[in-house]
A and B are shown apart, each in its own frame.
Chain A
Amino acid sequence: MRKTLARPPALAAVLCLALVAAGCGGGGSSSGTTTGTSGAAASGGTLSVAIGSEPPSLDPGLATDTTSAYVVENINTPMIYLGPSPDLKPEPGLAASWDVKGPAVTLHLRNDVKWTDGTPVTANDVVWSWLRTISPQLGADYAYQFYGIKGAQEYNACKPSAANQQCDTLKNKVAITAPDKSTVKIELTSAQPWFMQQLSHTSFVPVNKASVDKWGEKWTEPGHIVTDGPFNLTQWKHDASLTLVKNPDWYDASRVKLDKVDLKIITEGATAEQAFAAGDVDVNDTGWPPADTARLKSQDTYHQFPSLGIYYYGFNVKNITDVNQRKAMALAIDRTAITQHITQKGEVPATAVSPEGIPGAKTIDQDKFLSTTADLTEAQKYMAKVPNPVKDITLVFNNAPGHKEIAIAIQSNWKKLGLNVTLKQQDWPQFLQFLGPPPNPSVSVFRNGWIADFPDDINFLSVFECKSGNNSTNWCNPKFDDLLKQATATPDTAKRYELYRQAEALLTGPNGDMPIAPIYWYTFTDQQAPNVHGYTANPMYTTDLTKVSIG
């Protein structure tokens, strides 16, 4: 059976809830082949795809979810493309080449990329778009993607008002400039060796100033929108469908095989599954009810691929203070049983935070302490070392499908350690507020997950820095923060991976503090008709439709 990359159930994807839905698992069997089949790549044709939600915004500056990113990245030319797994190296996109000297980055743009209104895409467009996203007025969620650039964070944090000229001053201090039409110069706050890969993120996709100026917030509607990618958005019936048509004027149009892509918004997994069965869609990216996984998995239309994402349980270390108890609890979890009997989508039992598919994983994850199955004997040994174990545990999770089943399994794993686990389920926004940080004091253990924005392990490890807004464990280790700070300024890949290894060991290694218990690394799954070729997604869920053909 051909295995390809696939997207998560998109209902979850829409609000970036990819981690909420149980089915969205990720993780990385790097052995899975990812592209292509022996089938002939026919030219032309229409591909119909079921997507799980209405894209909340097609403005690259405002898009935060995977569904919006899917469309944005196919109707625009991203700054760079990511190469094949596992290295995911930056490959030319709008930036044809680049020079990186420590924190100084120079991008040389292609000069044959045109907006759909016929005007060329220039370095000024890039500078204008990036400053727009950073500006406090736009209110972009992902403005922080730019915080690595000198002056960006300060500009984003200023309070705009008519009387206050401070914002203009700060805007001028942001270190993004266009010395000529095809050169963008950027000064970073430190070397940040991952910056080129980070440029693959949708936030960095430039927008057309004329269209934004003319139409304001409505500039993303068909007829208004001006883009520069392989496909044009010709129709958008909100909550129903989007139509993308091949852009014959794209600089590399000859490699685009599809004439048209119909994206049908079907939020209900059961309906998407029926639509696929009836042939109404060629690809089902929405997903299906979890109960159907076992059946669909055996069909040739099922596809699965690794992703850079982790599903984990976090400990509130102020509540479970003894490291030996945390180690015992982490050891007692039967990860294999969870992935084989509950999630069932080929997820990989996780023994560390850094996913198997992240570049450098072999080095980073070598200090193993946990195993993929429950090690009860060892767990009990650690538990015996705890003078005053916390016996009553409150486990908090959100109410998306699948989490409860996992929580019940782990509840029974921990019962063997003599722990009474109370399960507490909450709706997503309430759950997030409960997690803080700092977490609500009643929380002993919580479920959470993380999916990479760009393929560098800093993405995962920095979640657990002392001041990270995503660290709900109350765990703070200055040594860990220091290692990551060093990594920020270490362009040498091998040296950086070594720093990541040490940091990972502080989390999950034999002498680690175990503020979290990794459970599994996500995978992504979908259904594809046999005549669809090359439909894949990289581990950040980007589907490049220029590589897809049908027939």
Chain B
Amino acid sequence: MLKFVVRRVLWTIPIILLVIFMTFWMMRAIKGSPFRKSERAVPPAVLANLNRKFGLNKPWYVQYKRYVVDVAKADLGPSLVLRNQSVNDIVKEHFPVSAELGGLAMLLSMLVGIPLGIISALRVNTITDYTAQFFSNLGFAIPSFFTATLLIYFFAAKWRFFPTNGWDTAGSKVLPVIALSLFPLTYFVRLVRGQMLETLQQDYVRTAKAKGLRWRRIVVVHVLRNSLIPALTAAGPILGGLVTGSFIIENIFAIPGIGRYYVTSVQGRDYSTVMGITVLLSVLIIVANMFVDIMYGILDPRTREARS
């Protein structure tokens, strides 16, 4: 197991180098300059000063090398657009907000989605199942920006239960967490329900029933354990996606998270910010996947043996 973990950790290094390299090239391949922000042309002397200041006048391999060395020292460089902030400042200030938002949404979606999926499967083809199915299909189909707008309109603007935007008070966190969790929640319901139904058909469940084991014990020990593996597999990438991909929700609720930087930094050609948060995203996804693999190994020892 330890060997497996060490190998996974070591593998992240070439992956991150490749991510930096590809992002570096892609950013330079698209047209536009971080220093041409408005319709006002930047005089050549000013442009030269800016390129010099941020080292963009150097050959690409010097820039790349310097960047890799800086990243190794945990320095993601200065933002080319937010002139008084470094990318480290941006990450330090905004990533925890996104992590909190994503984490809470993940928690909510699992706490509600998984039990709902289990109940649906155990009461298959009853009114409970149909209701759960109806809402999970609805939640799956409606895009989060629409849900968010509806939530704001009714619960904030109309009934004034919560503030319309922000991320400071506990109340301000309710609507965005609900809006963000809806999609993964319904996904968990469908996933767990489907898997449960499949497991319930398995021979060993029938055997357990035939042996006269108590139904509760069969469900908890035999069915649940095997049905939750796909949910766990999905949880890693979903968490990664929730933490980094909440751009729309952050924008709608004016939450100072890192999500919007994924979009604004590309739009503004803020090279260092794009690279910094891409590195961050890849590290996150890699760690999340690694975590899932380890959990997988615990739940199903066969996978661990197969891999090692």
A residues contacting B by CB (< 8 A) are 15-19, 54, 56-59, 62, 64-65, 136-141, 143-144, 147, 153, 156-157, 159, 217-221, 237-241, 264-268, 270-271, 274-275, 277-278, 280, 427-430, 432-434, 437, 448-450, 468-470
The answer, among B46, B54, B82, for a CB contact under 8 Å with A56, is B82
Closest 4 CB pairs of A and B: A429-B32, A469-B41, A16-B38, A239-B256
Q: Which residue of B lies closest to A15 (CB)?
A: B37
27 contacts between A and B (CB under 8 A): A15-B37, A16-B40, A56-B81, A64-B38, A65-B37, A65-B38, A136-B52, A141-B35, A141-B37, A141-B42, A141-B50, A144-B43, A156-B49, A157-B45, A238-B90, A238-B93, A238-B94, A267-B251, A271-B164, A278-B160, A280-B165, A429-B30, A429-B31, A429-B34, A430-B30, A437-B41, A468-B41
Q: Using A64-B38, A159-B48, A221-B84 as known contacts, list a sample of 11 further A-B pairs with CB atoms less than 8 Å apart, ordered by residue number in A.
A: A57-B82, A65-B38, A141-B35, A159-B52, A239-B257, A240-B254, A266-B254, A280-B164, A429-B267, A432-B36, A470-B39
- State whether the Cβ of B4 lies closer than 8 Å to any Cβ in chain A: no
State how many angstroms separate the Cβ of A272 from the closest Cβ of chain B: 8
- State whether the Cβ of B126 lies closer than 8 Å to any Cβ in chain A: no
The answer, among B32, B45, B83, B268, for a CB contact under 8 Å with A156, is B45
> B156 and A270: CB pair below 8 A?
no
Residues of A near B41 (CB, < 8 A) are 437, 468-470
Given known A274-B153, A278-B160, A449-B39, contact A268–B251 (CB-CB < 8 A): yes
> B157 and A59: CB pair below 8 A?
no
Interchain CA distance A18-B40 in the complex, whole Å: 11
> B167 and A240: CB pair below 8 A?
yes
> B256 and A141: CB pair below 8 A?
no
Given known A268-B252, A274-B157, A280-B163, contact A432–B39 (CB-CB < 8 A): yes
Count of A-B residue pairs with CB < 8 Å? 167
Give the number of chain B interface residues (Cβ < 8 Å): 55
Q: Which residue of A lies closest to B85 (CB)?
A: A238
State how many angstroms separate the Cβ of B31 from the closest Cβ of chain A: 4
Residues of A near B67 (CB, < 8 A) are none
Residues of B near A433 (CB, < 8 A) are 31-33, 36
- State whether the Cβ of B177 lies closer than 8 Å to any Cβ in chain A: no
Given known A15-B38, A271-B165, contact A62–B268 (CB-CB < 8 A): no
> A278 and B164: CB pair below 8 A?
yes
Interchain CA distance A140-B50 in the complex, whole Å: 8
Residues of B near A449 (CB, < 8 A) are 39
The answer, among A19, A277, A278, A434, for a CB contact under 8 Å with B39, is A19
- State whether the Cβ of B188 lies closer than 8 Å to any Cβ in chain A: no
Residues of A near B269 (CB, < 8 A) are 429
Interchain CA distance A15-B42 in the complex, whole Å: 14
- State whether the Cβ of B237 lies closer than 8 Å to any Cβ in chain A: no
Residues of A near B256 (CB, < 8 A) are 237-240, 265
Residues of A near B40 (CB, < 8 A) are 16, 470
Interchain CA distance A266-B167 in the complex, whole Å: 12
State how many angstroms separate the Cβ of A177 from the closest Cβ of chain B: 23
Residues of A near B83 (CB, < 8 A) are 56-57, 59, 62, 217
Residues of B near A241 (CB, < 8 A) are 166
The answer, among B34, B53, B152, for a CB contact under 8 Å with A137, is B53
Interchain CA distance A238-B256 in the complex, whole Å: 7
> A274 and B267: CB pair below 8 A?
no
- State whether the Cβ of B149 lies closer than 8 Å to any Cβ in chain A: yes
The answer, among B33, B53, B81, B164, for a CB contact under 8 Å with A15, is B81
Residues of A near B54 (CB, < 8 A) are 139
Residues of B near A428 (CB, < 8 A) are 32, 267
- State whether the Cβ of B187 lies closer than 8 Å to any Cβ in chain A: no
Q: Which residue of A lies closest to B251 (CB)?
A: A268
> A153 and B45: CB pair below 8 A?
yes
Interchain CA distance A271-B43 in the complex, whole Å: 37
State how many angstroms separate the Cβ of A464 from the closest Cβ of chain B: 13
The answer, among A17, A139, A278, for a CB contact under 8 Å with B156, is A278
Interchain CA distance A239-B273 in the complex, whole Å: 15
Residues of B near A437 (CB, < 8 A) are 41
Q: Which residue of A lies closest to B38 (CB)?
A: A16
- State whether the Cβ of B173 lies closer than 8 Å to any Cβ in chain A: no
> B39 and A141: CB pair below 8 A?
no
Give the interface centre of B78, B89, B94, B256 by most chain A CB atoms within 10 Å. B256
State how many angstroms separate the Cβ of A481 from the closest Cβ of chain B: 17
Interchain CA distance A218-B82 in the complex, whole Å: 12
Q: Which residue of B lies closest to A215 (CB)?
A: B84
Given known A56-B82, A450-B39, contact A430–B93 (CB-CB < 8 A): no
State how many angstroms separate the Cβ of A504 from the closest Cβ of chain B: 20
- State whether the Cβ of B193 lies closer than 8 Å to any Cβ in chain A: no
> A139 and B49: CB pair below 8 A?
yes
- State whether the Cβ of B260 lies closer than 8 Å to any Cβ in chain A: yes
> A270 and B94: CB pair below 8 A?
no
Q: Which residue of A lies closest to B81 (CB)?
A: A56
Residue interface mask B191-210, A partner, CB < 8 A = 1 = 00000000000000000000
Q: Which residue of B lies closest to A217 (CB)?
A: B84
State how many angstroms separate the Cβ of B260 from the closest Cβ of chain A: 7
Interchain CA distance A221-B89 in the complex, whole Å: 12
> B49 and A239: CB pair below 8 A?
no
Residues of B near A59 (CB, < 8 A) are 83-84
Residue interface mask B145-171, A partner, CB < 8 A = 1 = 000010011001100100111111000
Interchain CA distance A278-B78 in the complex, whole Å: 38
> A274 and B38: CB pair below 8 A?
no
Q: Which residue of A lies closest to B159 (CB)?
A: A278
Residues of B near A470 (CB, < 8 A) are 39-41
State how many angstroms separate the Cβ of A218 from the closest Cβ of chain B: 7
Residues of B near A218 (CB, < 8 A) are 84
> B38 and A427: CB pair below 8 A?
no
Residues of A near B164 (CB, < 8 A) are 271, 274-275, 278, 280
> A143 and B153: CB pair below 8 A?
no
- State whether the Cβ of B253 lies closer than 8 Å to any Cβ in chain A: yes
Interchain CA distance A275-B94 in the complex, whole Å: 22
Interchain CA distance A220-B89 in the complex, whole Å: 14
Given known A278-B157, A450-B39, contact A265–B254 (CB-CB < 8 A): yes
> B94 and A239: CB pair below 8 A?
yes
Interchain CA distance A377-B149 in the complex, whole Å: 48
Residues of A near B48 (CB, < 8 A) are 136, 157, 159
The answer, among A140, A270, A430, for a CB contact under 8 Å with B252, is A270
Given known A432-B32, A432-B39, contact A143–B93 (CB-CB < 8 A): no
Given known A15-B81, A217-B84, A218-B84, contact A429–B33 (CB-CB < 8 A): yes
> A17 and B94: CB pair below 8 A?
no
Give the interface centre of B34, B167, B254 by most chain A CB atoms within 10 Å. B254
Residues of B near A138 (CB, < 8 A) are 49, 53
Given known A15-B37, A266-B165, A428-B267, contact A274–B254 (CB-CB < 8 A): no
Residues of B near A153 (CB, < 8 A) are 45
State how many angstroms separate the Cβ of A138 from the closest Cβ of chain B: 8
> A264 and B166: CB pair below 8 A?
yes
Residues of A near B31 (CB, < 8 A) are 429-430, 433-434
The answer, among B32, B149, B255, for a CB contact under 8 Å with A270, is B149
Q: Which residue of B lies closest to A436 (CB)?
A: B41
Residues of B near A136 (CB, < 8 A) are 45, 48-49, 52
Residues of B near A434 (CB, < 8 A) are 31
Q: Which residue of B lies closest to A13 (CB)?
A: B38
